[in-house]
Every structure is written in C-alpha cells, then in structure tokens.
Amino acid sequence: MASGSGSGVGGGRVAELREIRAEALRGPSEKATEAQHAKGKLTVRERIELLLDPDSFNEVEQLRRHRATGFGLEAKRPYTDGVVTGWGTVEGRTVFVYAHDFRIFGGALGEAHAAKIHKIMDMAIAAGAPLVSLNDGAGARIQEGVSALAGYGGIFQRNTKASGVIPQISVMLGPCAGGAAYSPALTDFVFMVRGTSQMFITGPDVVRAVTGEEISQNGLGGADVHAETSGVCHFAYDDEETCLAEVRYLISMLPSNNRQAPPTVASSDPAGRTTESLGEMVPADGSRPYDMHRVIEELVDDGEVLEVHERWARNVVCVLARLDGQVVGIVANQPQVLAGVLDIEASEKAARFVQMCDAFNIPILTLLDVPGFLPGVDQEHGGIIRHGAKLLYAYCNATVPRISLILRKAYGGAYIVMDSQSIGADLTYAWPTNEIAVMGAEGAANVIFRRQIAAAEDPEAMRARMVKEYKAELMHPYYAAERGLVDDVIDPAETREVLIKSLAMLRTKHADLPSRKHGNPPQ
C-alpha cells in the first residue's frame, strides 16, 4: 500500500509524529520565547544553528519526558525536558552538543534531563569528537530532590573521564549557580557573554545573608569578573553571535581527540618570510618595555592569533596560532605588564595552557623575556612556590614538540621554569640581545662584590665597573651557546623561518613517559 494512505504506518501515526515533533521544536510557548529574547538571549535552537554547520544537527532523545511526580510535575511534562542534545558538524568535523532550554523549567536539571546529557557525553567520548555545552540553566531541579543532584555527579564523572581525551568547551549563556558551576570548571575552555551569563557557587542573596555584603549577580560572577579577576572564564564577548562564532574558530584549531593532530590549513604566508621589524620592535635595553603581542603577530601566519585568558594574568600571554598552516601554542612573557615577571596567577595560567596543548598534540613555543618571579610577602604567603611548580611540572611532563626562544632577559628560576633546555625543551634559540643569568648584573654585582664596593673610595664607580665586568664575563650573548645550553643564536629577521623548519623536523617526535597511573602534580 502506498505511503500516506489512510491505513498502515504512513497514515495517522506519521501525522501524529510530525505534530509531536513540531511541538518539541516549537518549545513551550511563544510567550516564553519572547521572554527569552527580551533578556537579550537566543533560544536553544537558535544557538545550535549558530554553532553548527547549516542543516547538520542530528537530535537525540527529542521526545524524552520526565517521570517525576509531586509538586505539580506530573501535570507538566514537556518534550526534551529542558535540554536539547545531539551532534552536528563544525567546518565538516563532527561535534557533539547539549544545550539547556531556559524556557522549560528554567533549564533546571532533573533525572531525565541529566540522563540525556550523560548519553551525549558518552557518545562524544566513544566517537572521539569535541563536546560543547551551551549552558543556560538554573541548577538542580529542586522538586526532584537528590535525584537531580546525582545527575550532576554523573556529569562531573564524565567530564573527568573525557579530560585530555576530547576537547570540552563550556559556553555560558545564562545563569549557572551552585554545583552546576563545577562542570564548566572541569572542561578545557569556558566562554561567557557579558550581561547575561553568570557563574557562582553561592548567589548574592546567600552572600548577603552570611557576610552582609551587597553585590549584584554580574558583580559577583559576571563575565568580566571571571575573565579578569578569578580566571574561570577564558573568553568573554558582548553578544551570543560573536561568542558562538569564536567557539567555532577555537574548534578549528583543536584536534577531534587526543589521538589526532590539530587540523592543518594551507597558508599563503611564506614560510621563509623575513621578520626584519622584530629587531626594532624589541629594544636592546632590557629595562624598556614593549608589547609581546606585536612580536607574536609578526611571527605567526597572517598575524592571526586566538588569545586564551586575554584579560587575566596579563604578564604572561597564551595564544593559539599557526606557523606554516600548523597549529602551535605560544607561551610568552609580557614586558608591558609587571615587566613580564612570573607570579602566582601567571604560573597557573601558563601551566593549564601547556597541559592543554600537550593533551591535544599541539606543539609549544615559549618566548622568554623574564626578569624572575615576583617578590613579595603576598606572593610567598600565597604559595608562589607550589603555584610556580605547577608550570615547571607542566613543561617537564609535556611530550609534544617544545621550542624556546630567548629574546632578552632570562633570569633565575623563572628562566629554568619557562621551558629551558635543562627541563626538556627540544630546541632552544636565542637572539643576540639575550641575557641569561642567575640574576641581573646590578643585583649580582652587589652580592658578589659588596666588600670591594663598600671599601672603594668611589663606591658608585666601583659598582659600575663590577657590573660591566660581570656582564662581560657571564652575560654576553654567546655564554649559554658556548656551553650548549642554547642550540643557536639567531638573527631576529630569520626567526619565523627557523621556527617553521624546527617544527617540521619535530613533527614526528615520539616520547614516552614512565609507566604510572598518573603523576601527583603540585596543587
């Protein structure tokens, strides 16, 4: 019998199915959609359309509904149960996604809601494809009690299982309170939108009740707070459209999983392009600042970079970029901020970035211009020893290709920590302006020659003489190269070509760590 006739599968049942699907796609009501738009927020399916390639989304468990009873829940059983799950493509590559629908139960997580997320996370891990969560939910569904809390536990467990296996990206597009904030914190990257997204463990009401402090939701956990102060947020944007476009761009820089290399693109920027301007861009005088961003943009393909944690711990710069079409992670000191010193936050920022690059087979390029660790009581009492050790551990543990380039200063323990040859850098280069030493010449002279300086008829003249002598003996640009601690001193104009040739050679690098369950990194 032909499909669509009055009897059989093609008849009324198909019409009923279409009607149910239309209801699920439409959402709870036009009023709820208008309310979402009035807040400056897109609906769940509008967001998925922006994230994924056109017509590529395949939904999973669209018709799922909760089975909870009590508190009026049995009378309200919408399709999707407040979360849309499935897979699609970004630039042709498979990506899994789950997205809260704030119009249904405020996006709150219940047992069925959680089961859908668990399933799509398991599918992403099994398929070896990135997972993106579009978060816009009010936390656990209170009416379902402990079952909702257990649902979060299942998400956290899967976040941890997927860590370092597939890229996990959390996009905050609304409120995220309580335990719900820990899932994004377990993922690789967190995106936020100013004005509409917040993250906090205890909200303003609880803060006011416990401490008496008055603060707004955005003041407590808005995008700018987490992008500048807490470091929870890696990227913050003014609107959802820009945010989701940048998520797509990030995905284009990452491999699908830890068994693959990052995507390669054809580059129109010549590999042998000279970088003549670098010699003028970086002052030879180590006390004069400059913008490390300009150096990086001059080196990489077409000057295009994606900076991670752009506004947090700005004394170190972490970017993803390409050299001759190949993705590379760049860690660099920023002389414009705190002279580029390492402190607690900079160490944590760089350590996490190095770990991410190592997990996903992204070569690491380190650009050094570091005068040391930041001194001070606050830093010492805040644990600069253990926090700085995180960066040291991350570099020592990384098996991807690692190249370091010393532009100017490289002093003390900070030089060793910033991927020196002694902790495993595959290749170490330096410019003729490099100064590698235990400390600056002035400080060293004051320590080594303090008696001679104190006894001299003209202490200042003696100090100047000793500084000059120390520089000549131990800080000339070829001192480290002569001892094999630097592989070559290179012309700044040839830097791009040298780096690209070195990365090409290291592309087949293979290194094994000792057999172990896992390390015990400093915390």
> Is 219 assigned a catalytic role?
no
C-alpha to C-alpha distance for 98 and 47, rounded to whole angstroms? 11
Dist CA 171 CA 250 (whole Å): 12
Is residue 462 within 8 Å of 456, Cβ to Cβ?
yes
Identify whether 271 is a catalytic site residue.
Answer: no
Catalytic member of 414, 437, 441, 481:
414
Backbone angles phi, psi at 60, to 5 degrees: -120, 135
Rounded to whole angstroms, the Cα distance separating 513 from 217 reads 45
- 106, 178, 383, 424: which is the annotated catalytic residue? 178
CA atoms of 360 and 262, how far apart (whole Å): 8
How buried is 506 (Cβ within 10 angstroms: 0-12 exposed, 13-18 middle, 19+ buried)? middle
Burial of 192 (0-12, 13-18, 19+ CB in 10 A): buried
In whole angstroms, give the CA distance from residue 492 to residue 430.
9
Q: What is the spatial distance between Cα 496 and Cα 273, in angstroms, rounded to a whole number?
A: 7
Structure tokens at 259: 């068994």
Angle at 67 between CA 170 and CA 132, to 5 degrees: 10
Closest CA to 226 of 178, 179, 190: 190
Burial of residue 336 (number of CB atoms within 10 Å: 0-12, 13-18, 19+): middle
> Which 3 state secondary structure label does DSSP give 330?
strand
The CB density around residue 195, as the number of other CB atoms within 10 Å, is 15
178 as an active site residue: the answer is yes
Please count the other Cβ atoms lying within 10 Å of the Cβ belonging to residue 519: 11
Catalytic site includes residue 272: no
Please give the span between the terminal C-alpha atoms of the chain, in angstroms, as a whole number. 69
E-assigned strands of 154-279? Answer: 168-172, 175-177, 189-193, 198-200, 235-237
- State how far Cα 379 lies from the chain centre: 24
DSSP state of 222: B
Which residues have a catalytic role annotated?
178-179, 413-414
